[in-house]
Amino acid sequence: HDLPQAAAALTAVMPREQLPRTLEERQIAWVWGELALAEGEPSRALQRAEHLLASAPGEQRTQLIPHLLKLKGEALVALSRFEEAVQAFEEAKRGAKARHDQSILWRIHCSFGQLHHRLKREEQAQGEYSAAREVIEALATAIDETALREHFLHTALASLPQVKPLSPNDAARRAYGGLSAREREVAALVAQGRSNREIATHLVLSERTAEAHVSNILGKLGFTTRAQIAAWAVEKGLTTTH
């Protein structure tokens, strides 16, 4: 990217430090913020985003403006203010969904996924990336021209990390509500009507550990009774595999 050339082009329209007075000038001011981020000046980008959010005209001041909140979140990430960035991205997502603005929503999901990855929150990161792919694919279906549609898909999906194939264990966890292999064994034994003590004996565990497994299963599946676990285990076919 030729950043000096971009800065020169923007300056010809509206100097960097000029305060925006019209909606068109607010758009240019936002682009100045994006350019500041690209130039490695996140503090300036954050200042620009916060000023534009605070000075939004009329009803917009009480609304969540997704492209400005995305800029704010990305600037906060660059400044290592991660928890503030999480809040900015959450608000950006809500704003984009409220406006039904899919074109910015997938980019927000992408940036949020990158933040989660940086914070080693891999499950949340993959959730954001998956959401971004869904939005991209939905947008692509609205493009009639094949070449244009393929170009959009290729370009947009290239901004996301490659999908790693799930390991057998991870695939099983996803298929069974996040339950580990041991928890699936316990669920199958619950379905057989076994008590915690009987489960502990069968799996060579302490009774307290068996009780903890049952509690974890209830929490992960959103259940409140052993009968619900039993019905779920039968439905999933666990009683025939354990």
> Of 97, 93, 74, 94, whose CA–CA distance to 84 is shortest?
74
Query: What is the architecture, at CATH level 2, of domain 168-240?
Result: Orthogonal Bundle (1.10)
Per-residue pLDDT of the chain (242 residues; tens, 9 = 90+): 588 999 999 999 999 999 999 999 999 999 999 999 999 999 999 999 999 999 988 777 678 999 999 999 999 999 999 999 999 999 999 999 999 999 999 999 999 999 999 999 888 898 899 899 999 999 999 999 999 999 999 999 998 987 666 667 767 776 788 888 899 999 999 999 999 999 999 999 999 999 999 999 998 888 999 999 999 999 988 987 55
Residue 99 to residue 137: CA distance in whole angstroms? 19
| DSSP reduced 3-state for 56 | coil
> What is the pLDDT at residue 163?
62
What is the residue whose two structure tokens read 């906060």?
76
Structure letter (DSSP) for residue 18: P
> What is the pLDDT at residue 82?
96
Question: Do the first three CATH levels of 3-158 and 168-240 match, i.e. the same topology?
Answer: no
Position 239, amino acid: T
Domain spanning 3-158: which superfamily?
Tetratricopeptide repeat domain (1.25.40.10)
> What is the pLDDT at residue 89?
97
> Of 112, 138, 107, whose CA–CA distance to 126 is shortest?
112
**In the chain, where the domains are located:** 3-158, 168-240
Would the CA dihedral through 14, 6, 31, 49 be positive or negative?
negative
> What is the pLDDT at residue 214?
95
- Name the token pair of 118: 């940086």
- Name the token pair of 79: 């400044």
Find the helix or strand (DSSP H, E) in which 54 lies: helix 42-54
Position 30, amino acid: W
